[in-house]
């Protein structure tokens, strides 16, 4: 594995920060009666206005800037005219290219008031991620992180 220069690390961090900020922006938009297509277009505009490019759009023919999944849709939902409803949970996956360096992250958000069961799903998933990260050391492959997350019994 090639060692990164300090300048490359700065660019990687910027791509990651832009990805995080795009998800924080997305969170401000989430409410009942907005479509996943509206979310997608708004996030795409935000990324571009902040100097990035959406990684997913046109990748292997994918039509959107984000992947948005509601409730039982596991991953990589394609944004559409489907509208969010009170009590839904919505997962948004964002990829940002900044000067050739990529950030990629997903978060799940409540739409208004959600059931205790859905809130527990969000909380346990988030906690599992952070428990898994505790076991990761610099230079290790991400496969070790995903293994650590999967073995969590919270």
Looking at the structure, tell me whether residues 151 and 80 fall in a common domain: no
Looking at the structure, tell me whether residues 33 and 101 fall in a common domain: yes
81 contacts 35 by C-beta, under 8 angstroms: yes
Measure the CA–CA gap between 11 and 20, rounded to whole angstroms: 14
- State both tokens at 48: 């571009």
66 contacts 58 by C-beta, under 8 angstroms: no
CATH code of the domain in which 57 resides: 3.90.230.10
Q: What is the pLDDT of residue 1?
A: 64
Looking at the structure, tell me whether residues 102 and 122 fall in a common domain: no
Looking at the structure, tell me whether residues 49 and 102 fall in a common domain: yes
Looking at the structure, tell me whether residues 81 and 128 fall in a common domain: no
Q: What is the pLDDT of residue 144?
A: 75
Range of the domain at 68: 6-111
Q: What is the pLDDT of residue 43?
A: 98
Q: What is the pLDDT of residue 103?
A: 97
In a domain, residue 26? The reply is yes
Counting the structural domains of the chain, the total is 2
Looking at the structure, tell me whether residues 129 and 87 fall in a common domain: no
- H helices present in 57-141, as ranges: 116-133
In a domain, residue 1? The reply is no
pLDDT, one tens digit for every residue, the chain (154 residues): 678 899 999 999 999 999 999 999 999 999 999 999 999 999 999 999 999 999 999 999 999 999 999 998 888 899 999 999 999 999 999 999 999 999 999 999 999 999 999 999 999 988 888 888 887 777 777 777 777 777 765 5
């Amino acid at each position: 594995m090639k060692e990164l220069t300090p300048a490359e690390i700065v660019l990687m961090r910027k791509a990651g920060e832009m990805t995080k900020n795009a998800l924080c922006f997305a969170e401000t938009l989430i409410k009942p009666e907005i479509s996943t297509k509206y979310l997608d277009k708004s996030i795409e505009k935000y990324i571009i206005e902040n100097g990035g490019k959406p990684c997913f759009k046109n990748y292997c023919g994918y039509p959107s800037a984000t992947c948005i999944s509601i409730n039982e849709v596991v991953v990589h939902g394609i944004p559409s005219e489907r509208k969010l409803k009170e009590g839904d949970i919505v997962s948004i996956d964002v990829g940002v290219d900044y000067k050739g360096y990529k950030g990629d992250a997903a978060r799940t958000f409540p739409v208004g008031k959600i059931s205790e069961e859905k809130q527990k799903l969000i909380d346990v998933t988030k906690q599992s991620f952070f428990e898994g990260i505790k076991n990761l050391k610099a230079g290790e492959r991400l496969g070790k992180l995903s293994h650590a997350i999967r073995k969590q019994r919270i």
